[in-house]
Amino acid sequence: MTRSLRAAVLLALIALAWPVLPGPSTHAYEVHTVEVSSAGFNPSICRMNRAYVRFKNVGSEPRRVILPGLGGDPPFWDSGTLQPGQTSNEYKLEHGGSTVFRDAANETHSVTVVTPVYVESWDPDCTPDPSLQPPVPLCRDSAHCLRLPAVSADR
């Protein structure tokens, strides 16, 4: 085998193996992450292009995010139970408009994801505000924390 033929075969093998070589994990599409905790969603309004959204539980308790169904129907989409620190699967928003996701445990907490209707794309604004941190649970970190029951009396 000649030297140039060996080089050509080596280059061909590298070109074939290149897609399966380990490398940095990147998406070929845009993904926005919305934080969820017992305090609600951060941000509460997510302006994005028609792309993917996912939810990360930044709280200390399990959370479940749903896209409610119509009336009493089951949800269109359910993240399943997200343990603290866990991120949900991605949900693709293909059409323009507003989509409201809710916390299954407290449906007063919601996030509205807004996608463009009359234009192809716009500047997304879906970054969580770092100053909005979930509340710290009472008596979780202290070994000497005393919890007393609330007592009431009729007068």
Per-domain boundaries in the chain: 26-115
pLDDT in tens, 7-32: 667 666 666 655 554 444 455 678 99
Torsion region of 17: left, alpha or beta (phi above 0 gives left; psi -120 to 50 gives alpha):
alpha
pTM reported for the whole predicted model = 0.69
What are the average pLDDT values for consecutive 10-residue runs of the chain, which has 155 residues? 69 61 57 93 92 94 92 88 95 92 93 92 88 63 59 58
Closest CA to 50 of 113, 100, 111: 113
DSSP secondary structure letter of residue 114: E
| Residue carrying structure tokens 């200390």 | 60
pLDDT of residue 58: 93
Q: Tell whether the torsion through CA atoms of 82, 87, 88 and 91 is positive or negative.
A: positive
Do β-strands 31-37 and 52-57 pair in parallel, antiparallel, or remain unpaired? parallel
pLDDT of residue 23: 47
- H or E, element range at 36: strand 31-37
pLDDT of residue 73: 83
Closest CA to 63 of 43, 35, 24, 23: 35
pLDDT of residue 2: 73
How many whole angstroms separate alpha carbon 65 and alpha carbon 149? 32
Peptide bond into 43 cis (omega under 30): yes
pLDDT of residue 10: 66
How many whole angstroms separate alpha carbon 128 and alpha carbon 101? 16
How many whole angstroms separate alpha carbon 34 and alpha carbon 96? 19
Q: Are 41 and 109 in contact (CB under 8 A)?
A: yes
pLDDT in tens, 60-77: 999 999 999 888 788 999
CATH for the 26-115 domain, from 1.10.3720.10, 2.60.40.10, 2.60.40.420, 3.30.465.10: 2.60.40.420
